[in-house]
């Protein structure tokens, strides 16, 4: 069986690490993976370093498509992925998550009648203003295999009339967390480089358009983080696009008291996540990683796809209001230990491969 895997952004590299490892384990049975990188994340610290640290095979194709509006980027990717599909003629196209790369790959394959497998299917924020929500809904609609990370994702698909091809396999990011958490502790030197003691610093990320494209929301987030940083170090790995908008909006002064870094390699980020007192983020992946490592999370969004993290008390939704962010941090309590693991047993990648080869 020949799979063409489309990736383009940091979360997809992480998810692909687990599945690509499972595919290589089946090479003796004739399973082959061709990796295509759209180039959506092109920065060294957001792309190549993940392939190096996660032992992902180098992509056979790199489209180097990044920047521009959502429509322009997706259209260019769609055209380029189609050409690769015509050349490779895979038995299946594999996509992850909800980026423009995901949608472009899925549409290109569907129009050529190549079956699509969607890893992380069924997630819903129920906010159609999010580009990611549009991408994931459309991708689910054209997919033959819908690999769900949680029972809530399965229920979402059933509510939309989709049951054919739906499988509850667990979350491949949990596979990755289990595999790399100890390696990050042993190999990363980021805590000493930044001079932050374990359990005595805040980790923050902010990159979603709903926050970065709104000056008031971004200002409120940075102002709250700056006030927290007066008493507790705040480490902020800053996405290149966020960095540009901070300066465009004239908000650079709010970064003064923060420990701002470039986007971090995977193992450094995992080491920081495990050692943080609390994590502030608008990233879906970081919310889950916080839960996996049992670190309290305060999510800078009005909704989340990962409802289980909220229901189990490890995640608070606070939006982007300055007072709400500070109140959540001021009232922070260590949650009760989670007695259930809603994202599987750490074998999602193996389950995916078994389903694809049946």
Count of CB atoms situated within 10 Å of the CB of 64: 11
Rounded CA-CA distance 147/145 in Å is 6
Contact by Cβ (8 Å): 176, 156: no
Answer yes or no: 207 catalytic: yes
For CA atoms 35, 37, 42, 45, give the dihedral sign. Answer: negative
DSSP element (H, E) containing 147: strand 145-148
Residue of 37, 41, 118, 207 with catalytic role: 207
213 phi/psi in degrees, rounded to 5 = -85, 0
| CA dihedral of 347, 180, 26, 35, whole degrees rounded to 10 | 110
Q: Residue 32 burial by CB count (10 A; 0-12/13-18/19+): exposed, middle or buried? A: middle
How many helices (H) and strands (E) the chain has is answered by: 16, 13
Closest CA to 223 of 132, 308, 321, 311: 321
Catalytic residues: 207
């Amino acid at each position: 069986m020949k799979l063409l895997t489309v990736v383009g952004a940091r979360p997809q590299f992480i998810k692909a690490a687990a599945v690509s490892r499972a595919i290589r384990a089946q090479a003796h049975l004739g399973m082959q993976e061709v990796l295509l990188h759209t180039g959506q994340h092109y920065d060294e610290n957001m792309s190549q370093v993940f392939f190096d640290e996660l032992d992902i095979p180098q992509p056979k194709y790199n489209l180097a498509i990044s920047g521009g509006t959502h429509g322009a980027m997706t259209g260019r990717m769609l055209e380029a992925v189609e050409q690769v599909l015509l050349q490779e003629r895979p038995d299946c196209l594999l996509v992850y998550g909800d980026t423009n790369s995901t949608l472009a790959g899925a549409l290109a394959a569907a129009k050529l009648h190549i079956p699509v497998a969607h890893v992380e299917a069924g997630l819903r924020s129920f906010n159609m203003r999010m580009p990611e929500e549009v991408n994931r809904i459309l991708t689910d609609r054209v997919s033959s295999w819908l690999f769900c990370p949680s029972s809530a994702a399965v229920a979402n698909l059933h509510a939309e009339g989709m049951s054919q091809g739906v499988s509850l396999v667990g979350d491949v990011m949990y596979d990755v967390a289990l595999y790399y958490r100890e390696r990050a502790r042993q190999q990363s030197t980021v805590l000493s480089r930044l001079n932050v003691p374990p359990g005595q610093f805040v980790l923050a990320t902010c990159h979603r358009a709903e926050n970065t494209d709104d000056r008031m929301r971004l200002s409120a987030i940075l102002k709250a983080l700056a006030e927290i940083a007066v008493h507790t170090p705040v480490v902020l790995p800053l996405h290149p696009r966020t960095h540009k908008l901070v300066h465009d909006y004239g908000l650079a002064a709010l970064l003064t008291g923060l420990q701002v870094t470039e986007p971090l390699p995977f193992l450094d980020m995992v080491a920081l996540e495990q050692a943080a007192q609390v994590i502030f983020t608008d990233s879906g992946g970081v919310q889950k990683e916080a839960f996996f490592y049992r670190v309290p999370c305060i999510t800078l969004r009005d909704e989340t796809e990962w409802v289980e993290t909220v229901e189990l008390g490890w995640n608070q939704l606070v939006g982007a209001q300055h007072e709400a962010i500070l109140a959540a941090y001021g009232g922070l309590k260590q949650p009760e230990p989670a007695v259930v693991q809603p994202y599987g047993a750490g074998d999602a990648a193996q389950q995916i491969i078994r389903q694809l080869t049946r």
